[in-house]
Structure 1
Amino acid sequence: MNIALMSHDRKKELMVQFCIAYCGILSKHTVCATNSTGTMVAEATGLPVNLFLSHEHGGSQQIGARIAYNEIDMVLFFTDPQTHDLDKDIDYITRLCDQYNIPYATNVGTAEILIHGLERGDLDWRDIVSPKTTPFTV
């Protein structure tokens, strides 16, 4: 499965801690992320992370395009509810995930449910409902 990671500045450390805790599960999948989040995760965990542009330079749009082309199977976007200037980016990713039936977590509680489901095979339906026609590359 292809897992996209994103996080607001005040949630980046939480994303890093989450990825450290679930490194064993994440290592069995392809991980991509916006630049600063992905760099922090890769350095802390040793996981290979395919990096998109930073948020400021269009990373959210790059991930959004991958969602639209069925190249993302799960999005973990740890959001800061007190950050109002990025509401349109949250809305953009949320709408795309809803439109294309992509499991999506905006907080660590929901992310843990998804990551455990991923480990159990609960998300294998993604391969049946939306089989990949092209390999994921950044």
Structure 2
Amino acid sequence: MKIALIAHDKKKEDIIQFVTAYKSVFQQHELFATGTTGKRIMEEVSLTVHRFHSGPLGGDQEIGAMIARGEMDMVLFFRDPLTSQPHEPDVSALIRLSDVYEIPLATNMGTAEVLIQGLKHGYMDWLKLRKKQGEINDKQK
């Protein structure tokens, strides 16, 4: 599966701890991340990550484009709800696209753990089946 990892500045330590805790799960999947988050995961957790631009420079939009093309399977976005973000419209668009294309999205560590446990135990197979049947790309028409 293709998993996007995003974290606002005040949540970067949390996502590093989370990815470290579930490294055995993450190393079985293709990882994508916004700039600094991806760099830190590569350096501190030693996982391969395809890096996009940082969020404020378009990284959120790059991940959103993958969602719209049916190329992303899950998004873990550790948001900081108490700090104003200059790219808030991009954040909202990414969340909206995840809802439109029915992509599992976690915006905090608690929900991310439920998704990763589900992935670990094979509960995300419905997404693979939908992709195989072409349902996800039907929304593009």
* TM-score over 0.5 for the pair: yes
Q: Which residue in 1 is equivalent to 2:119?
A: 118
CA contact (8 A) 2:34 2:60 kept: yes
Aligned letter for 2:102? N
User: What are structure 1's unaligned runs of at least 5 residues?
Assistant: 134-138
* 1:130 Cα offset (Å): 1.9
Aligned letter for 1:2? K
Q: Which of the pair has more CA radius of gyration?
A: 2
The aligned length equals 133
Q: Which residue in 1 is equivalent to 2:138?
A: none
CA contact (8 A) 1:70 1:132 kept: no
1:35 and 2:28 matched: no
Q: Residues of 1 paired with 2:28 and 2:133: CA distance? A: 17
Q: Residues of 1 paired with 2:24 and 2:123: CA distance? A: 17
Q: Where does 1:8-87 land on structure 2 (aligned, <5 Å)?
A: 8-85=8-85, 86-87=87-88
RMSD: 1.4
User: What is the CA deviation profile of residues 19-62 of structure 1, one whole-angstrom value per residue up to 9, with x for unaligned ones?
Assistant: 00000000000000001000001111111001111112211110
Q: Residues of 2 paired with 1:68 and 1:131: CA distance? A: 16
Provide the identity percentage: 47
Q: Residues of 2 paired with 1:20 and 1:132: CA distance? A: 34
Aligned letter for 1:118? L
